Structure 1
Amino acid sequence: MDLTLLSIILVITLFGFLLMGLWVGFALLAVGLVAMELASPAPAGTVLATRMWGSLNVWDLTALPMFIWMGEILFRSRLSSDMFTGLAPFTRRLPGGLLHVNIMGCALFAAVSGSSAATTATVGKMSLPELRARGYDPRIAIGTLAGAGTFGFLIPPSIILIVYGAAADQSIARLFLAGILPGLMLAALFAGYVMIWSLINRDAMPPPPEKPSLRERMRALALLMPTVLLIVAVIGSIYAGLASPTEAAVVGVVGALLISGLSGGLDRASFVASLRGSAITACMIAFILAGASFLTVAMGFTGIPRLLAAWIGEQGYSQFALLSALLVFFIVLGFFLDGISIVVLTTSVILPMVLAAGIDPIWFGIFLVLVVEMSQITPPVGFNLFVLQSITGRGIFEIARYALPFFLILVLATAILALFPEIALWLPGTMLSR
């Protein structure tokens, strides 16, 4: 069969299944089966069984449910509220005031959670009522939370970086390192925008509070200390060479259980709920990964990825032209698919093009995560928008309008990363080349 016609059939099949509401994992499996039946004499059933088992029988993937469980434990404990209370005294005198707690709180929680939705929900439940009571404009309060909630995808340990590493066969430790500086850059861009907005819209800001006393600052530091120690234990154990990402995930779970138990924030019911929530999320991601892995093999049998990679090479596109096209492509996909689905659905097809263009796969993973972060705040399928809709009761398109400036900042961050790739590659090259 002509590969162009086959490609059209497979795209129509995929989106047809998705529009019918079929689970993403089933849709990927179905498209793979169609591709195998139309373009390969190999037994589809045998390939399906062996590939699904092989894709999930990977040691690095065991980090996934552990990091998810760690986030679920923290989501249900007092650690998150202590973190918010501890950050507040250090942001009161900045232009934008407590709005920076949304940004800093999401950055800190992302460093011990790895989930964008969990980060948004946890920080939002604490900060939005407080900001509302203090008279902050809901537009900027909700917008900062929608944007900063995406940090859960970029700042390690990131669930989606683990998924990309497994799908692209890249080092998860290198990906974690590569996400640190871009994550800090993004937080700085968000904070800068909040400062500029607050200086321009002084009438929408409450009067600045009194300067916190030394005693308040010391108490705040004490409340922040458990979060900082957990971050150091998880991330530090990886880069000190004491633990693999999987072992570090276990360290994180044990640390979260100890902190939650000592603070009295975790009872039997919340412990069981954290187990259930992590099991559901981990199984969903694993099923999507299995479907995507089979689709990757099926696409290899069809020859479509090789054809696309060769076509890209023949066109002579520059790296910037290719990345610009991919940026638009991923933004469009983000209107309809969640972030993890985008990664596992496109990696097998896009990565050969990227490698043919001479783009570093570690750098591309960070680029892809930044673009996927945009999908979290674009309607109609923006998970952060759904979370904020449940918290605030506002319409999803109204929340998307509040989040628009932060979407544009994400586009700016992607452009900066493309112009200065060392932002992502310097730390992995420095720390893991020793």
Structure 2
Amino acid sequence: MSIATLSIILLVLLFAFLGSGLWVAFSLLGVGIAAMALFSDAPLGLVMATTLWGHSNSWALAALPLFIWMGEILFRSRLSEDMFTGLSPWMNRLPGQLLHVNVFACGIFAAVSGSSAATAATIGKLSIPELSRRGYPEKMIIGTLAGSATLGLLIPPSIILIVYGVATEQSIARLFVAGVLPGLLLVGLFVGYVAIWALINRANLPTEDIRASFVEKLRRSRRLVPVILLIVGVIGSIYAGIASPTDAAAVGVVLALLLSWREGTLTRASFVDGLMGATVTSCMIAFILAGASFLTVAMGFTGIPRVLAEWIGSLGLSTFTLLAALTVFFVIMGCFLDGISVVVLTASVIMPMVMQAGIDPLWFGIFLVIVVEMSQITPPVGFNLFVLQSLTGRDILRVAHAALPFFFLMIVALVIIVVFPGIVTYLPNQM
């Protein structure tokens, strides 16, 4: 049987599993079992047992539940209220005024949660009612939230960067550092778009003249200090080489608990809810990673990745053409699967192509995460769209339309890091 026929059979089987509602992890395991049983003479049981144990028994994965728990703790604190209070006095003189609070608040919360959906939910719960009450256009409120919340996937500590690092055996610390400048680039693009839109559509914005002295601004910004110290402590310790991502995650959990206790939001109920939420999410991701690791090994036995990489190489595609094709592929995949599933599902097939083309896998990780960010605001399975739909009660297509400009801004960011790859690689090379 030819490799092409084999690939089609396995692809159809995968989509049949996913379309039937089978869990992603079971779908990956099922396709791997089929590939091994039908197209390889390797001992299925032994390979499965050693692969699942070997990839589950990974120290790098220890950072995953800790960062998720840190985000769960802060999700249940008054962090969103503190950020709105601390940021709003500084935004009034910018074109777009308090719409910028959405962008900066999402950027800050992304740096402590690592989750796109959690960022949208946490910031949206406070900013949507407040900005609506002040008369800001609903489309821009939703759009800035939908776009900026995707920063949770890129700005470290990013859960999906941990997943990519484990799946492709890349340094998680270097991936975290590599995400800093592209994350700031996206924040700059979002702020610039809001400012330009505000200058063109002055009549659609409320007239606010909230004057505050510099001392008053500093006083209200004091509530931002604890979370900024938390970000600096976690990311700074990794960048300085003082702590590994796992060590930094453990310190982040302790600091988040202290911050929540100081605010008075740490109760027995919130502690248990946060711990259980982190456990459920971590188990789900770990299970998907285990299934993906077995599928990766199974694909290796079938020879599909090697043949596919050789075929791509024989086409003589330029790096830019290959990246454009992969962008379209990942966006389409993201319309039907969540970001983590997209990464673990495609790593075994895509990475040989990437290596064949001479693309830095560290740089490609950031590229991939930005593309996955784009899929978070594309229907029908854009998780940020679902979150904002539940917060606003609006139709998901209306939410997607509001997020469309930010989708194109992410394409601009992709073009920039392709033309200037040093934006991604500069900081990791300084470590």
The bucket for the TM-score relative to the shorter chain is over 0.9
Which residue type is aligned with residue 386 of structure 2?
F
Asked if structure 2 preserves the Cα contact closer than 8 Å seen for 1:93 and 1:211, the reply is no
Asked if structure 1 preserves the Cα contact closer than 8 Å seen for 2:67 and 2:252, the reply is yes
**Aligned counterpart, 1:208:** 208
Counterpart CA distance in 1 for 2:201 and 2:322 is: 39
What secondary structure is seen at the aligned counterpart in 1 of 2:179? helix
**Aligned counterpart, 2:154:** 154
Asked if structure 2 preserves the Cα contact closer than 8 Å seen for 1:104 and 1:187, the reply is yes
TM (norm. structure 1) is 0.98
Which residue type is aligned with residue 30 of structure 2?
A
Counterpart CA distance in 2 for 1:243 and 1:86 is: 30
The aligned length equals 431
Shift in Å at residue 352 of structure 1?
0.5
Which residue type is aligned with residue 379 of structure 2?
P
Shift in Å at residue 39 of structure 1?
1.2
Asked if structure 2 preserves the Cα contact closer than 8 Å seen for 1:79 and 1:226, the reply is no
**Aligned counterpart, 1:296:** 296
The 5 A counterparts of 1:323-402 are 323-402=323-402
Asked if structure 2 preserves the Cα contact closer than 8 Å seen for 1:64 and 1:162, the reply is yes
Which residue type is aligned with residue 128 of structure 2?
L
**Aligned counterpart, 1:426:** 426
Shift in Å at residue 122 of structure 1?
0.5
**Aligned counterpart, 2:68:** 68
RMSD: 0.8
Shift in Å at residue 215 of structure 1?
3.4
Counterpart CA distance in 2 for 1:177 and 1:240 is: 10
Which residue type is aligned with residue 65 of structure 1?
P
The 5 A counterparts of 1:257-276 are 257-276=257-276
In structure 2, relative to structure 1, the CA distance for the partners of 1:263 and 1:218 (3 Å cut) is same
**Aligned counterpart, 1:54:** 54
Counterpart CA distance in 1 for 2:24 and 2:393 is: 28
- The superposition leaves residues 1-22 of structure 1 with CA deviations (integer Å, 9 ceiling, x where unpaired) of 2111100000000111111111
Asked if structure 1 preserves the Cα contact closer than 8 Å seen for 2:164 and 2:365, the reply is yes
Counterpart CA distance in 2 for 1:341 and 1:97 is: 37
- The superposition leaves residues 357-407 of structure 1 with CA deviations (integer Å, 9 ceiling, x where unpaired) of 000000000000000001110111011011111111111111001000001
Counterpart CA distance in 2 for 1:381 and 1:141 is: 21
What secondary structure is seen at the aligned counterpart in 1 of 2:109? helix
**Aligned counterpart, 2:123:** 123
Asked if structure 1 preserves the Cα contact closer than 8 Å seen for 2:85 and 2:221, the reply is no
Bigger shift: residues 207-216 or 339-348 = 207-216
Counterpart CA distance in 1 for 2:212 and 2:5 is: 67
Shift in Å at residue 59 of structure 1?
0.3
Counterpart CA distance in 2 for 1:363 and 1:220 is: 39
Asked if structure 2 preserves the Cα contact closer than 8 Å seen for 1:235 and 1:248, the reply is yes
The 5 A counterparts of 1:217-296 are 217-296=217-296
What secondary structure is seen at the aligned counterpart in 2 of 1:150? helix
**Aligned counterpart, 1:11:** 11
State, as a whole percentage, how many aligned pairs show the same letter: 66
What secondary structure is seen at the aligned counterpart in 2 of 1:149? helix
Shift in Å at residue 208 of structure 1?
2.9
Counterpart CA distance in 1 for 2:117 and 2:290 is: 22
Asked if structure 2 preserves the Cα contact closer than 8 Å seen for 1:74 and 1:256, the reply is yes
Shift in Å at residue 343 of structure 1?
0.4
- The superposition leaves residues 193-231 of structure 1 with CA deviations (integer Å, 9 ceiling, x where unpaired) of 001111111111000323322232122221110111000
**Aligned counterpart, 2:138:** 138
The 5 A counterparts of 1:13-32 are 13-32=13-32
TM (norm. structure 2) is 0.99
Counterpart CA distance in 1 for 2:342 and 2:84 is: 32
What secondary structure is seen at the aligned counterpart in 2 of 1:259? helix
Asked if structure 2 preserves the Cα contact closer than 8 Å seen for 1:93 and 1:208, the reply is no
**Aligned counterpart, 2:314:** 314
Counterpart CA distance in 2 for 1:212 and 1:353 is: 56
Asked if structure 2 preserves the Cα contact closer than 8 Å seen for 1:143 and 1:403, the reply is yes
After the TM superposition, list the runs of 4 or more consecutive aligned residues in structure 1 that deviate by more than 6 angstroms: none
Which residue type is aligned with residue 261 of structure 1?
W
Bigger shift: residues 215-224 or 418-427 = 215-224
Shift in Å at residue 297 of structure 1?
0.1
Counterpart CA distance in 1 for 2:84 and 2:56 is: 37
**Aligned counterpart, 2:92:** 92
**Aligned counterpart, 2:180:** 180
Counterpart CA distance in 1 for 2:209 and 2:248 is: 40
What secondary structure is seen at the aligned counterpart in 1 of 2:359? coil
Asked if structure 1 preserves the Cα contact closer than 8 Å seen for 2:376 and 2:384, the reply is yes
Counterpart CA distance in 1 for 2:415 and 2:245 is: 29
Unmatched segments (≥5 aa) in structure 1: none
Counterpart CA distance in 1 for 2:256 and 2:80 is: 11
Asked if structure 2 preserves the Cα contact closer than 8 Å seen for 1:135 and 1:205, the reply is yes
- The superposition leaves residues 56-104 of structure 1 with CA deviations (integer Å, 9 ceiling, x where unpaired) of 1110110000000000000001223112211111111100000001000
